[in-house]
Structure 1
């Protein structure tokens, strides 16, 4: 029985060596066999070498929440003050930065991407609700 196992290992090693060494174009059935072996070994290596996604750093989450807090307070301040120089421009810039931070927070929290929507109050509200449902506060 040991000789049968040794013979099987020998054939396996010969097959793997045949895949690595350059040689003349093989017969069509050999090409098919090589493709199958390559596909199966690729699947096997993909299973064995799975990469794990690291958990998000809690300090990144905290940093992002403080930036969201800061921007939301600035937006409230600009909206509540009637006589601010270039008010519309400031408000648009602050809202664009807030929207970008919301996108980053949604990626970090693992929220599903909504369908391609333009920047709007509805999308901002939806992202805020998704984050609040996941326990985010700012």
Structure 2
């Protein structure tokens, strides 16, 4: 058991010396191997997903608030073609909810039919992530 501890100590000291001592120039085949491994790892690595622009998020929240207000106004008013207007407003609201869920990182339920339950679920997911409108 003592030999394992000595072996680990030896490797630790070798790594420390490697870090402290100046490195000699690399040979041509080592540089070529390094470039090719960096290319392969770059292909295999997933591209970094940039953070969403906070102003895009703010614009989207403002649009959601505006459409929610319009839906409430149309529901409470007596007007011509009320059902048609409500369907159009709710479709626009659902599209904005989908975009907001994409920006917030909410997993998409593509197999679910668009209805009140899905809309409520998406609103709750966004609210739990700090969104308000």
TM over 0.5, yes or no?
Answer: yes
**Residue 29 (structure 2) aligns with:** 9
Query: Which structure 1 segments of 5+ residues have no match?
Result: 17-37
* CA deviation string 1:12-64 (max 9, x = no partner): 97xx9xxxxxxxxxxxxxxxxxxxxx9x78643425x7532111000000000
Alignment partners' CA distance in 1, 2:29 and 2:131: 56
Alignment partners' CA distance in 1, 2:90 and 2:68: 9
Matches within 5 A, 1:108-123: 108-123=103-118
Alignment partners' CA distance in 2, 1:73 and 1:136: 16
Indicate the RMSD between aligned Cα atoms, in angstroms: 2.6
SS in 2 for 1:116: coil
Q: Does 1:72 align with 2:92?
A: no
**Residue 63 (structure 1) aligns with:** 59
* CA deviation string 1:64-100 (max 9, x = no partner): 000000000000001111x211000000000000000
Q: Does 1:132 align with 2:131?
A: no
Alignment partners' CA distance in 2, 1:63 and 1:80: 26
Q: Are the structure 2 counterparts of residues 50 and 124 from structure 1 closer, same or farther at C-alpha, using a change threshold of 3 Å?
A: closer
TM-score in terms of structure 2 length: 0.69
Q: Given the alignment, which residue of 76, 79, 84 partners 1:89?
A: 84
TM-score in terms of structure 1 length: 0.67
**Residue 41 (structure 2) aligns with:** 44
Query: Which structure 2 segments of 5+ residues have no match?
Result: 1-25
Alignment partners' CA distance in 2, 1:46 and 1:117: 34
